[in-house]
Structure formats: C-alpha cells, structure tokens
Amino acid sequence: MKKVKQHIILYIEGILNSYSQIFFSTNKLFALLLMFVTFFDLRLGFSGLLAILIGQFTATVFNFNKEHIRSGSYTFNAVLVGIAIGNMYEYNVSFFVLLLMSSILVFFITLWFSTSLAKRGLPYLSIPFIITIWIVVLSSGNFFSLKPNIEHTYFLNTIFPGVFNQTTQDISGYRFANFIYLYLRSLGAIFFQYNDLAGIFIVIGLIIYSRIAFVLSVFGFIVGYLFYYFLQGDFTPLVYTYIGFNFILTAIALGGFFVVASNKSFLLILFMMPIIGLLISSLNVFFINLHLPIYSLPFNIIVLLCLSALYLRPSANGLQLVGVQQYSPEKNHYKYYNSLERFSAETYYHIALPIMGEWHISQGHNGDITHKEDWKFAWDFDLLDIDDKSFKLPGEALTDFYCYDMPVLAPADGWIVTIVDTILDNQIGEVNLENNWGNTIILKHGELLYSKLSHLKHDSIKVKVGDFVRKGTCIATVGNSGRSPEPHLHFQMQATPHIGSKTVSHPISYYLSNENELLNFHSFDIPVQHEVVSNILTTKLLLDSFNFIPGEKIKWLLKNESKEENVQWEIFTNALNQSYIYCHTTKSTAYYVNNGTLFYFTDFYGDKNSFLHSFYLAAHRVLLAYYEDVTIKDKLLIDSFFNPIIKTIHDFTAPFFHYCTADYQFQFISTDDEHLPTNINAKSISEGKIFGKKTQTIESIITFDKNTIQSVEILNGNKKITATCVR
Amino acid sequence: MEKKQYERPIIKSLNAGLMNKFGTRTEYAPMTHIDNVAVKDLIREFGSPLFVLSERKIRDNFKTAKRIFETRYPKVQFAWSYKTNYINAICNIFHQEGSWAEVVSRFEYEKALKNGVPGKKILFNGPDKTDDDLRTAIKNDSPIHIDHLDELYRLIELATELKTKPRVAIRVNMDTGVYPMWDRFGFNYENGQAWDAINKIMATDKLNLIGLHCHIGTYMLVPSAYGVAANKMADLALGVKKRYNKVISYIDMGGGFASKNTLKGSMQLGVDYVPEINQYAEAICSTLLNAGFDKDELPYLYLETGRALIDDAGFLLGSVISNKRLSDGRRATIMDFGVNILFTAFWYDHKVSPAQEFGMHTEDSVIYGPLCMNIDVVRENISLPPLKAGDQVVVHYVGAYNITQSMQFIALRPAVVLIDLSGKPHVIKQKESLKDVENNEVMPDYLKKIKL
C-alpha cells in the first residue's frame, strides 16, 4: 500500500515538474500556476497533460530511471508537444492517434539528445519538442482526417470574456503599456496562450520561483526590444508568432540557470539578446518557405553555442558555470559565492608542516635569498631563541644551532621516490654549490604532486626509496648539507619527482601561527617569512564526538519554555561518498565533512525551523582540536539565515551586490582537563548583518561529554532551545 | 686611566717539569657584571652577601627546554618544581611561561594556589600528605601522585567520604641501570608493585587514574637512563590501555637533569661533561614516540625539571673578610658567605670568580665561610688570584636549591635580587632581620627577666 502511494506521488511530482522544468524549475507552486495557464484553453491543457502521461507510461514500460520521471526531465518536452498539437488540430480520433505517436516520439528524441549532449556537458533544452513538431507539421499534409483548429471553442476567453478583457484594459492605464503587453503575451506564448492574464499568472509564478529569473526575463526582453527599436525592426509580429519568448528563456538560462547570476552574466545577456534577434530574423526567412514554425529554435541554438564556448574556455575566469545544479538561480548564485568564500582553497591536497612544535619561517615564498624564479614557492624553517638568534654562542659548531638534528616529518601520506643521503654536512658558513640541494627526500603524494625536503643531516634518513610513509612520521633530521651555510630545513612542493624540479605554489592545509603568544588558525594558507608556525594537535574527545558512523541513530530531546519534543537523526553516506545527517522527524538533510582536523557543514535541505538546521548553524565549522583563544570564522549562506521576506527582497539585486551578510564564529570556552578532556564547552555565534548593521544573532553553546555531543543550547533572540542527546 | 690595582706578592714553588696539561692560565675570567649590572653596584645597594637571579636567563632556559622537547614530541607540559626555588617572583616567571606547579608539601601547595595556579594544574607529589592535605587537593581537583599503599587506601576512603573521584597518578620507581636506585619513592616496576597499585586503583572505581609518574634520580649524567625509564612507563601506560581500555593522560618523567655545576670528586668541569638537555629529550621523546601509542592517545609528557632550568640563572655575590695562611702553608680566604646559605657546597665544587680585574698570578687556596663552625668550607681547593679583604667574588650556578635550603644558622640570610629583562634589579626577598627570626619565638613570662 505504502509502495503504491509512493508511486502515485512520484508520477504526480513528475507531472508538476514537467511544467516547471520548462522554466528550469522544480517549484511545485510555479508548476501548478503554469498548469492552470495551459487549461485556459481546456483542449490545450488536456492534450498537454495527456502527452505527459503517455511519456511517463513509455518511460515506465521501458524501465527507465524513476528519478528522471520524478524530475520531469523526460516529459517537459512532451507538454509542449501536446499543447502545440492541441493548438493546431481539432479533437477527433486521428488527433489522439497523432498525440500518442508524437508523445512517444518526443520521448525517444529526448532520450537520444539527453545522452548525446550530456557527453559534452550540454543540456537538450527543447530541441526534442521542435524536432517532433516539425515532423508532425511536415507529415500532417498527407493525413486528411486531421482538422486544423480554427475555433477555440473551449477557451475560457469565450466563457469568461470579462475577466480577460478587464485585465487588458487595466494594463492599458500603465506607462509602457505596449511593452507590458508584449512581455506578458510573450510569456503566455510559451504555452500558446496569446493573452495578458496567462502572462500575469506566469509572472507571478516566475517571481515565486526566482526573483533573479524574473529580473533576467525583464532585462532580456528589454534588450531584445531595444535592439529591434534601434535597428528599426518590427517587434510586434514576434509575439503573436510565438517567438518573442526566446529572449526571456535565453536570459534566464544564460543569466542565472546554467551560468551563475552576476553582473557579468547580465553583461552576457546584453550581448546575446541582439544575436537572438539576428537568428530569429534569418531563421524565419528560411523556415517560412518550409512552412515550419521556429518556436524556441533561436533559444536552443544560442544557449548551446554559448555554453559550449564557456566549457571550451582554457581558464574559467569571469563567468562561472553552475557546478551542481540546484534548480534555482538564487541557490546557484548564493551557493557559488558562499563556496568561493568558504571552500575556494579546500580542493587542495592536505599538506601539513614537516615539523613538530613551533618553527620559524626564515624564508618564505618569493624569498629574497634563494627562493626565486623557478624555485620561488619554497619555505625554509629554523628555530629561534628569545634574542631571535638561531644558535647559541659561539655559533661555530653545527650543534650550536637549535634546529640541527631535529626531527623532520612526512608532510602527508606518500611514497618515497627519491633519496640523496651521501653528502656531508657543511661547516658553519660554508656552502656546497656542487650538490646544492644536499641530502634530500622527495615524496610522491599523487600524480603531479611531490614534496621535497632538503639540506638534511648526513646519514639521518630513516626511509628507503619505495617506502610508503604516513603523515607525521619522522623520516630524517635537519642538517646542513648542500647550499646551506647554517642548519635549516628546506621544504617545497613540486610537480615532478626530480631534484631541482620547478616548485609549485601549494598551501598548507591547516596550521597555527603564533604572534606574540596569540595563536591564529590558518586554513589552506601559505606561511610567510618570519611567521612562527606549528601543526594542529587534535583532541580525542572532539574527534570521537564528531565521528558519526553511517547507520548511527542520534536521538535528541528538545526543550523550550513551553514544550518538549523528540527528534531522531540518522547518518547516511551517499554514492558520492558524501556524508549527511538526515532528520526523520522533519525530513531535513544536512551534508557535512569531517576531515580529521575540521568538521563543517556544506549543505542543508529541508525545514529551516528544525533543530537540525539550528545545529547546522551552530556547528557550521568546528576545529577538532581544543585551543582556547583560537577563533574559527566562516560565512553562512544568506538564505539559511535571514527570514524569507528579507531574503526575497535581497534576491532581486543579489546578482549585483549583497547587502545582507551572515558571519559565523566558533570558540572553545572551557574544559575539565586540557590534556585529556572528557568535557568541553564551545560557543558559536552566527550574526546576520544588513548593510553592515547587526540585525540578528544566534548564540549556541555546544557541550561535549563522554565522547559525544551531549547538549546544544541555542539562543535565538529571546527564544531558547535546549537539546540533549538521549541514549 | 684607572688606577692600577694593588696585588699582594705571593711566593710560589717553581714547577720545572712539564706544563700542566690544562696550561698555566687561571680557571676563570673575572665577572664584573651580571646582565650588564655591575656587581659592585649590586653589593653597594643591596649588601653582601647577595643572591642575584637573572630573569633573562631563566626565561631563556625555559624557552630553550620547551623548544627542545616540543620540537621532538607534540604534547609537552612543564611543571615548576617548587622545592628547587619557591620565591614567588621566580615561580611566577615560570607560570607566565606556561609552567604548571609541582609541589611536595602542603606549604608549597598553598604557595602555588596563592600564586594563582589553578588547583587542576598543581601536581601534588611526595611521601608526606596528611588527610587534610589530601582533602584539599581532592577538592581542588589536583592530580595527586600516590607514593605508597597507605596513601592509596587513605585516598579511597577520602574519595568515598567526599563523594568525588580524585584524579591520581602513581609514582613508579625502577631500575634504569643507574645506582644507587631511587627505590624509596613510589612503587617498584620490576617486582610488580606498580602493577599491583594500578590494579588496586582500577578495581575500586573510586579513583581516576590519569597519569604515571617517575623520577629516576637527581643530577643524572646518563641520558640513556631516561630512555629506559620512558620505555618502562610507556609499557605501563599501554598495559593499562590494553587491560582496562583506559587512556593514560600523561607520563610524568620527573626531573633530575643535571645542571652545569661540577660534582665533587669529578675529573672534569661540569660544563664539559654534563649532558645537554637535547640528549635527555632525545632519549625520552624518541622512546615515547616509538612505544606504540595510538596516534590520538599519545600521552602528554610532563616534566618537573627544576635544577637545569634555574641553576645557571642564580649567582651569589660575596666579599672577602680576610686572608690567612694555614699551618701547612696553604692560603685560606674567609668569605662572608658559607654553607649556611650555600648548602650545595656540600656536593658541588662551585665555580667562584673574582668580581674585579686581577693580575696573571694565582695561588691555591681554601675558601672558608664566616661561620664559627668547622664544617663551613665552600671550596677545599681552588686556584684564585690573591684577594684582599673587601674584594668581591661571584659564585656561579647557585639558582637551584640554595635559597630553599639555606639555613638561618649563626648568620641571617641575605636578600635576593632579580634582574629583569631591561636590566633593572628588583628585591624579590628582603634580607632577614632579627625580627624575622624572633617572629615565631614565644617567651614565657618567667623567663622575660634576666639579671646578670
């Protein structure tokens, strides 16, 4: 029974999505509005719906992926085909035979294009619809039972003429009324509705779906209109031949859906709209002779051309293609800019400092002594005393230097690929220019990523070529071999396994810098000259607390002033190895990453009033190492923080600038034992700012105890929730 | 031009044979300044004798030791051994540097609390802890290092009474190949006493075993002994993990690192044969790192280093009272300081430098203290330039134990001065007065009146 219900829901979702997908959306409300608009002419609406059902049936019979049926991606072309045929022919038996055949045909064409274009990373848009319609139009001349549809008998206009006329009249009072007519009717034309009321419903749906898409549609349409105006073309016929919407769809597709909405994407639209105009004119001349409508052909051509060009760029600067499609220009936009701030560097392989304790960077990248030209991305390490000397007096012997013979660690897991261990250490002040790198170890961490440690002490190397070493293993000690007048450690990353290879710029994943006894946390940063740096020492209690295991169930007891509530979470890992917490009670999902040094959330889907969402904000980024006075900072997604009204208003201008920002801060407060904590208290603060002014603060206290997160206390304004982990 | 100093003539036998293998030069150069402050000025201002400590040297020593350990082992915590030198100003220098406190008596414990050290960061060592001491330590959540079974049983009773779970460690003694073995403190490793104590603690569930402590000796000259000790400690810690699935938070390796002082009877000078802290660190850290601990369960390494961090930061300034010739013809120099304030003179041949320029001649001499007691000998044999009454000397390596072990015997104890990082002297302990000495004396009424 449950299974049947699930299936029905799947097909209903599929039907709705088939409508909203035409506007690149999966918004259900938008879908209902669009569906309603198609039923302005009952015949059109019905044939559209029927086409979807036929498409879904075909997909089911052929056992295609159910999720594609749900997303509507197989059937949104079918809606258009159904409506278009309904618009062309009268209902009779032949009509339904034609509808059946063309709905099956459009499904096959969709399949073929979806796979062949996917290889190039391109969408198939409404190409299947156009091809199917052409086939129908070209063939129909031979079938005499098909009657052209002349009277729109079941059109609501004829039933309720008042409503439609009133709308048109109301608009005429506005300035730019003519333009508004054109815009609304172009939107309506997507569903073969040449009236203003349809346009108004679609606009409402569009704004509900995406403010950015709405702004883009208006912008694109204006640019197209002005282009015709300046070149003294006639724009009006475009609308009633169902062609004007090409500007709108292209603007949404390239301005915010496939490309991240920004001022640059608007600039792209500014240039693309005139090209659409050119295409419409030229294609029209050609196809009119074949008696074929061009419908959305210009939109398809331009979007595909433009996306191909963006894919083929040697480097992805400026315009950004959307990586993971969120089916919303807003989400695509916010997610991209948030990721840019949060994770732009985290794609790097994790490389730690090759030392233990606090060391001084005596020369950083682009150093003024030897880190130049091809070898500029390197670090030199040494140790200093309170007088900033690297040696004790008299400083004549190697052993007078503090760093001499100190352990050198593997900066990451890797294979030993090259070793030199035959060069004697220099006396102080002497250099060996012949074997300038001295005793050296090169580790391979992956293809095109090697690390090199040089000037090691003669005979101190503890590993052999071919060994696999773990991060943090002591592999040698610091020496004074090669071009090294005094003992120090040289460390660099390179792309090839050779001694003398060119260096590459690569950050250190996580480390602390000590500035006058104040520790600063760095993530994916490059230590600079004279910085005093150390690796991060993780804390077992925190590691254990965040060590969520797939299948693990976590129960919480929530308490606020008035009521108590139980929620249950479960940990899952998906096929892409992404881990997430799923809240059974609120059906919400929060994706997280735990890399052994940090725990952080990457994504949230679901109920923003759920405790999972509060936890998503509270533990947005947690350092798994207890350090008092070290502050971890992060940025929150705007839509996960502000209330819907503020956020909706913000969306309209979001592509150009953000006046709403949301910052996150995390800090440890106390522990029972700083060396082997069994209890830790931490505090995080999320702050929303509008035009730099603080408007909302959420404070959370997280208590870790007995290897788990014991409780979370959330103070949002004057609302207080306490969540206790129940075993 | 400064007036040349007068030096009395000396008669010295001519050695016509081969030269001494150490040459003819005197042992020491004069030491006229400490951290750029003239010895003359210090004595003029604060009197003679006078203890002087260099803050710069203390901080340098601490940072050096910390660096040496932390660049070899990721989890290191120092605890300042109060008995080595517990003048509050000195303790607080160490606390400012991040050191915890290690105390061996209630009096030291109170001192540490008063200095602002949180109870959690005071390690309570030693064989003598009264019930009241233990109660206080339990209430303050201080790690208590258990020395014997009686203490262990008392703690179990007190824990029941106070309804808390005290955090404890046991002191372990062991054979590290160095004799005499310090087996009077704690539980022996080899004969199984240590395991017995651990089992008793784990069986009660009244005590929380968080650490293991050892202190293999004092003035240890063999770093490898620490490697042996660390190995045995790691074995216990891993055993606890294996048998009870309990992670030991720390291994306390105690102290005992030698300073640069010269032990009596040794052939060479201390500076030449005493191991560097590096060598102790290498022995301990490499042993612990390779012992087989889980990456996330690596125990903290606690160190109670005292002597090696402060001995060379302390100087004793004194003046010559008189010269005389002994019956056997040897020269004797009588100083205004003796074993009453330089207790370590019983086992060290302290280095003594004149505080003013001197000529090229030296004379073998005995240095006596001012006490009217035969035992008051500072150096039995030292080669010194001819000194005359009023000349000043500097005794080196006196920062550890002398101030805490000094006696108010015959004479009053001198002031202690700390030279800060900018070279400014601060009195950190006033010179003792008659009032101080009599402060705790009580005179029965019938004895108040005397008539002579």
CATH code: domain of residue B173:
3.20.20.10
B141, closest residue in chain A (CA to CA) = A672
| Structural domains in chain A (count) | 4
- Residue A70: beta bridge partners? none
Give the residue from B20, B79, B40, B120 showing the smallest Cα distance to B304: B79
* Nearest Cβ partner for A386 among B63, B74, B120: B63
Does residue A2 share a domain with residue A65?
A: yes
Q: Model-level pTM?
A: 0.85
The verdict on A407 touching B (C-beta cutoff 8 Å) is yes
Partners of B247 on chain A (C-beta within 8 Å) are: 540, 676
| CA atoms of A193 and A245, how far apart (whole Å) | 12
Q: State the nearest Cα–Cα gap between B186 and chain A, in angstroms.
A: 24
Looking at A534, A555, A572, the residue that finishes a domain is A534
Partners of B167 on chain A (C-beta within 8 Å) are: 673
Looking at B290, B305, B320, the residue that finishes a domain is B305
Residue A343 lies in a domain: no
The verdict on A355 touching B (C-beta cutoff 8 Å) is yes
Does residue B288 share a domain with residue B360?
A: no
Residue B335 lies in a domain: yes
Using only C-alpha atoms, what is the Rg of chain A?
A: 32
Partners of B59 on chain A (C-beta within 8 Å) are: 386
| CA atoms of B75 and A369, how far apart (whole Å) | 34
- Say whether A385 and B63 touch across the interface (CB within 8 A): yes
Does residue A528 share a domain with residue A638?
A: no
Does residue B284 share a domain with residue B418?
A: no
User: CA end-to-end span of chain A, whole Å?
Assistant: 33
Q: What is the mean pLDDT of residues B194-220?
A: 94
The verdict on A541 touching B (C-beta cutoff 8 Å) is no
Residue B341 lies in a domain: yes
Does residue A599 share a domain with residue A651?
A: yes
- Eight-class DSSP state of B311: G
Residue A579 lies in a domain: yes
Residue B317 lies in a domain: yes
* Nearest Cβ partner for A356 among B72, B249, B297: B72
The verdict on A629 touching B (C-beta cutoff 8 Å) is no
Does residue B187 share a domain with residue B126?
A: yes
Residue B10 lies in a domain: no
Does residue A479 share a domain with residue A552?
A: no
Does residue B243 share a domain with residue B97?
A: yes
Residue A292 lies in a domain: yes
Report helix angle A196-209 to A161-172, nearest 10.
70
Q: State the nearest Cα–Cα gap between A540 and chain B, in angstroms.
A: 6
Does residue B359 share a domain with residue B250?
A: no
Give the residue from A404, A398, A363 showing the smallest Cα distance to A383: A404
Q: Which residues of A413-444 are buried (b: 16+ CB within 10 A; e: fewer)?
A: bbbbbbbbbebebbebeeebeebbbbbbbbbb
pLDDT tens, position by position, B221-246: 899 999 999 999 999 999 999 999 99
Looking at A534, A556, A591, the residue that finishes a domain is A534
- Say whether A407 and B71 touch across the interface (CB within 8 A): yes
Partners of B72 on chain A (C-beta within 8 Å) are: 356-357, 406-407
A478, closest residue in chain B (CA to CA) = B71
Partners of B67 on chain A (C-beta within 8 Å) are: 357-358, 383, 385, 402
Does residue A221 share a domain with residue A163?
A: no
Does residue B380 share a domain with residue B337?
A: yes
pLDDT for the residue numbered A155: 67
* Nearest Cβ partner for B74 among A383, A537, A540: A537
Which residues of B fall below an 8 Å CB-CB distance to A?
Answer: 56, 59-60, 63-64, 67, 70-75, 77, 120, 167, 210, 247, 249-250, 278, 289, 295-297, 300
Beta-carbon pairs below 8 A across chains A and B: 57
pLDDT for the residue numbered A641: 80
Residue carrying structure tokens 């569903």? A191
| CA atoms of A692 and A555, how far apart (whole Å) | 38
Range of the domain at A665: 540-726
pLDDT for the residue numbered A58: 94
pLDDT tens, position by position, B35-83: 999 999 999 999 999 999 999 999 999 999 999 999 999 999 999 999 9
- Say whether B67 and A535 touch across the interface (CB within 8 A): no
B297, closest residue in chain A (CA to CA) = A540
B68, closest residue in chain A (CA to CA) = A402
Residue A443 lies in a domain: yes
pLDDT for the residue numbered A175: 79
CB atoms within 10 A of CB B12: 9
pLDDT tens, position by position, B254-271: 999 988 888 888 888 888
Looking at B253, B277, B305, the residue that finishes a domain is B305
ipTM of model: 0.87
CATH number of the domain to which B317 belongs: 2.40.37.10
- Say whether A540 and B73 touch across the interface (CB within 8 A): no
Does residue B207 share a domain with residue B154?
A: yes
Using only C-alpha atoms, what is the Rg of chain B?
A: 25
Partners of A359 on chain B (C-beta within 8 Å) are: 71
Residue A530, CB half-sphere, CA atoms under 13 Å: how many? 5
Residue A527 lies in a domain: yes
A392, closest residue in chain B (CA to CA) = B64
Interface test with A, best of B54, B58, B63, B71 (most A CBs within 10 A): B71
Residue B118 lies in a domain: yes
Q: What is the mean pLDDT of residues B349-362?
A: 87
Does residue B321 share a domain with residue B291?
A: no
Does residue B416 share a domain with residue B336?
A: yes
Does residue B219 share a domain with residue B128?
A: yes
CATH number of the domain to which A170 belongs: 1.10.3430.10
CATH number of the domain to which A399 belongs: 2.70.70.10
Looking at A325, A349, A383, the residue that finishes a domain is A325
pLDDT for the residue numbered A342: 84
| CA atoms of A314 and A316, how far apart (whole Å) | 7
Does residue A254 share a domain with residue A303?
A: yes
- Say whether A540 and B250 touch across the interface (CB within 8 A): no
A623, A597 Cβ separation under 8 angstroms: yes
Does residue B297 share a domain with residue B320?
A: no
Does residue A570 share a domain with residue A457?
A: no
- Say whether B73 and A356 touch across the interface (CB within 8 A): yes
Residue A241, CB half-sphere, CA atoms under 13 Å: how many? 18
Interface test with B, best of A402, A477, A675 (most B CBs within 10 A): A675
Does residue A390 share a domain with residue A293?
A: no
Q: State the nearest Cα–Cα gap between A1 and chain B, in angstroms.
A: 49
Q: State the nearest Cα–Cα gap between B35 and chain A, in angstroms.
A: 14
- Say whether B75 and A673 touch across the interface (CB within 8 A): no
Residue B438 lies in a domain: no
Q: State the nearest Cα–Cα gap between B76 and chain A, in angstroms.
A: 10
Does residue B111 share a domain with residue B39?
A: no
Does residue A720 share a domain with residue A668?
A: yes
The verdict on A669 touching B (C-beta cutoff 8 Å) is no
Residue B160 lies in a domain: yes
Q: State the nearest Cα–Cα gap between A476 and chain B, in angstroms.
A: 12
Give B107-111 contacts, CB < 8 A, sequence gap 24+: B108/B82, B108/B83, B109/B133, B109/B136, B109/B137, B109/B142, B111/B82, B111/B86
Q: State the nearest Cα–Cα gap between B276 and chain A, in angstroms.
A: 10
Does residue A626 share a domain with residue A712?
A: yes
Residue A693 lies in a domain: yes
Partners of A673 on chain B (C-beta within 8 Å) are: 120, 167, 210, 249
Cis peptide before A314 (omega within 30 of 0): no
Residue A117 lies in a domain: yes
| Structural domains in chain B (count) | 2
Interface test with A, best of B35, B63, B67 (most A CBs within 10 A): B67
Chunked into runs of 10 residues, chain A (727 residues) has average pLDDT values of: 86 94 92 92 91 94 90 92 90 91 94 90 92 91 81 66 76 81 88 86 94 95 90 77 87 94 94 92 87 90 94 86 88 89 82 95 92 92 92 91 95 95 93 93 94 96 96 94 94 93 93 93 93 94 94 93 90 92 94 93 90 94 94 88 88 92 94 91 94 91 93 90 89
pLDDT for the residue numbered B364: 86
Residue A715 lies in a domain: yes
Residue B4 lies in a domain: no
Q: State the nearest Cα–Cα gap between B105 and chain A, in angstroms.
A: 23
* Nearest Cβ partner for A676 among B64, B74, B210: B210
Residue carrying structure tokens 């050119």? A278
Q: State the nearest Cα–Cα gap between B169 and chain A, in angstroms.
A: 14
pLDDT for the residue numbered A87: 87
B76, B70 Cβ separation under 8 angstroms: yes
Residue B446 one-letter amino acid: Y
Looking at B282, B305, B328, the residue that finishes a domain is B305
- Say whether A535 and B71 touch across the interface (CB within 8 A): no
- Residue B418: beta bridge partners? B53, B426
Range of the domain at B413: 33-52+312-432
* Nearest Cβ partner for B71 among A356, A540, A676: A356
- Say whether B297 and A540 touch across the interface (CB within 8 A): yes
Q: State the nearest Cα–Cα gap between A708 and chain B, in angstroms.
A: 16
